[in-house]
Structure 1
Amino acid sequence: MIETATDDRSFPPALAEAARTEFARADGDGIDFEPYDAFDSAEETTDWLRSWTGNHDLDGGAYRVFGQDGTGGLAALWCVRPGLPLAEQPVVFMGSEGACGVVAGNLSDFLWVLADGTGPMEAVEYDDAPGRADPVLASLAERHATTPRRPAHEIIARARAEFPTYAEDVRALCR
């Protein structure tokens, strides 16, 4: 069982603004992401994690689900860094068809991934997600990000390198 880094469920301002932003689908070439305006409840998150893994001994306390793709795959903050605020936790994605992985090392980097035209599902399912930079999302990132702008592929690669066994560890929880 992963120890929850924080019991905080307050929604970060950057995610609240993202929830008010329309994501360009660009005839299927855009970002497939629907941000929420609040985290899923602890109960909903636990139900989802148990359903996704088939493991009814788990609880979802280490996750703060904040959005989904069109198929129902979920994006979440993974509270793995004890004592750090939610904005400093990595962003992960767990797809409806079993794909899972780390998207960004923190919320700030996730904003730059979005600005570069890559959503959570695309970051995990495609090694070289060919995103289109989005000026609206770039403006959002400029207002909220605390890390420098970098290409999405660099951010994703760095996050994967920091948490190289995330997908394996999650799959090991499956029953």
Structure 2
Amino acid sequence: MTTTTDDDRGFPPALAEVAATEFDHDEGNGIDFEPYAAFDSAEETTDWLRSWTGNPDLDGGAYRVFGQDGTGGLAALWCVRPGRPLVEQPVVFMGSEGACGVVAGGVSDFLWVLADGIGPMEAVEYDDLSGRADPVLASLAERYATTPRRPAREIVLGARADFPAYVQDIEALCR
């Protein structure tokens, strides 16, 4: 996997505001997401990736972990677009039970996914990508998004199409 050469861990303002937002899981009818106020350290990220894959040879440098679901599955920016800013890197999710996938093509589209009431775990683990729109998250997306608003389903399926081998590439790293 290609990574950026820059180890930028500066937290994007949009994700900082997401972190300041309360998420209501609503007993399974809301978004199961606990955003962080900063990226995990490079060491924590490497430890997580090695543990998740069972592969002690991996380096987590391609990921910037910024949140989790209630079971410990992690949402991260996947730094696969060399030379592009962090906010233009795809958002991925790696669940605690082994599910993984691409959620959005960048932070901007991720904000629209959240605005539609879909979190990173829901985007990867469920086929039904029709959430319950959240006006607070929609307002946040309107302030920060640089991409046009589209339904979460369109964004998620588009990101999967842009990175069709992501799941297979991650599975190939597992020991």
Scaled to the shorter chain, the TM-score interval is over 0.9
Residue of structure 2 in register with 1:78 after alignment: 78
> Structure 2 CA distance, aligned partners of 1:29 and 1:129?
12
Unaligned ranges ≥5, structure 1: none
Q: Take 1:157 and 1:83, find their aligned partners in 2: how far apart are those partners?
A: 25
User: 1:128 maps to what in 2?
Assistant: 128
Cα distance in structure 1, aligned partners of 2:2 and 2:52: 16
**Change over 3 Å in CA distance of 1:68–1:108 after alignment to 2:** same
Which SS does the other structure have where 1:6 is aligned? coil
TM-score by length of 1: 0.98
1:116 aligned partner: 116
Which 5+ residue runs of structure 2 have no aligned equivalent? none
User: Once superposed, what is the RMSD of the aligned Cα atoms?
Assistant: 0.9
Q: CA deviation at 1:5?
A: 4.9
SS of residue matched to 2:64 = strand
Q: Which residue of 2 aligns with 1:107?
A: 107
SS at match of 2:61: coil
Q: In structure 2, the residue corresponding to 1:66 is in which secondary structure?
A: strand
Percent identity among equivalent residues?
Answer: 82
**Partner Cα separation in structure 2 for residue 80 and residue 2 of structure 1:** 5
Q: TM-score, normalised by structure 2?
A: 0.98
Deviations 1:16-47 (A, max 9, x none): 00111001222320000000000000000000
Which whole-Å deviations, capped at 9, do the CAs of 1:118-155 have from their partners, x for residues lacking one? Answer: 00000001122331000000001001000000000000
Question: Is the Cα contact below 8 Å between 1:6 and 1:79 reproduced in 2?
Answer: no
Runs of 4+ with >4 A deviation:
none
Matched with 1:144 is: 144
